[in-house]
Amino acid sequence: MMLTPNEFYATPGRHTDVASYGVAAAGIAEVVQTVQGILIYDLFAKDLYGVDLAPLQAETVHLRNASQILDAALEADPRPLSEARAPVTRIGGRCNTYSLLTVALLRAAGIPARSRCGFATYFVPGYYEDHWVAEYWDQSEQRWVMVDAQLDATWQRLLGIEADTGFVTIGPEQFLTGGRAWKRWRAGELDADRCGLSSIPEHGAFWIAQNTRLDLAALNKVEMLPWDIWGLHWEPPEEPTEETLATFDAIAELTTNVETRFGDLRQRYETDGSLRMDGSVFSVALGEQQEV
């Protein structure tokens, strides 16, 4: 018998099993506080926090499992994980690391949660920046809520964001999942040249497709790294075929209607070899093929 979406997302997947670490969190505020006390955004560690990361701290951005991340955190600072570390003893992470740990700790508490890959509007004005957030089920409001654990007090000051609750919830126009961005692009409502990563700089429809595929995997509890490439994709100067466009149209429809199309979403991922992560990926960041 197939689980409901809430039942499925309340239990850990292959990358989010941290039950043995004994990090007891009562709810989202406590989880975000714990995550922010473990991680530091590696690319801005020096500029925002005055920290020069040691190799052990910096290399954690390539870890895919929440358990490995917590192991690295304990190696850097052996105190209980629930005790916030000073920035100098935190370990490096990116947006996906923050979302992965948030999801792992929420699931450990039995709270339905999932990572979402897409584009944020609050980093660079006028652009949709490659980003990951977490989504959790708010029992009191009976709805899914997006939260960005990366946005600690330092990031909030930098971006001019106020969060009375101590953590930042994200509205639908502040973050577009890959599928929502894809549908808007296909409808002529979104300029693909504004979707990507300005720091490289690189933008385009291929990036929207990549994030749609990553979001599909994450919705199947297979949370990958932002720079993992596998299966169906294209890169400039290639142009997508009509078949490729049709496939991404289909998965965009599934990932934007998770609750009503949950069975179809699960089946499409599990049965489509062009979309399912089969254990071998190319790491763009490291320039090598890796077995996962």
pTM above 0.85, yes or no: yes
The encoded tokens of residue 165 equal 């609750």
pLDDT > 80? residue 166: no
pLDDT at 154: 95
Give the total number of structural domains in the chain: 1
- Residue 167 φ/ψ, nearest 5 degrees: -140, 160
**Average pLDDT for residues 56-85, to the nearest whole number?**
96
Give the rounded percent of residues in the chain with a pLDDT score beyond 90. Answer: 95
Residue 174: Cβ-neighbour burial (10 angstroms; 0-12, 13-18, 19+)? middle
The residues with which 203 forms a beta bridge, in sequence order, are 196
Lowest mean pLDDT among 19-33, 59-73, 144-158, 175-189: 19-33
| Alpha-helix residue ranges (DSSP H) falling in 174-223 | 178-186, 205-219
When comparing pLDDT for 169 and 26, which is higher? Answer: 169
pLDDT digits (tens, 9 = 90+) for 96-141: 999 999 999 999 999 999 999 999 999 999 999 999 999 999 999 9
Range of the domain at 93: 5-291
Mean pLDDT of the chain: 96
Do the Cβ atoms of 28 and 167 come closer than 8 Å? yes
Distance from CA of residue 133 to its chain's centroid?
Answer: 5
pLDDT digits (tens, 9 = 90+) for 74-86: 999 999 999 999 9
pLDDT at 218: 98
pLDDT at 162: 84
Quote the CA–CA distance of 61 and 43 in Å, as a whole number. Answer: 10
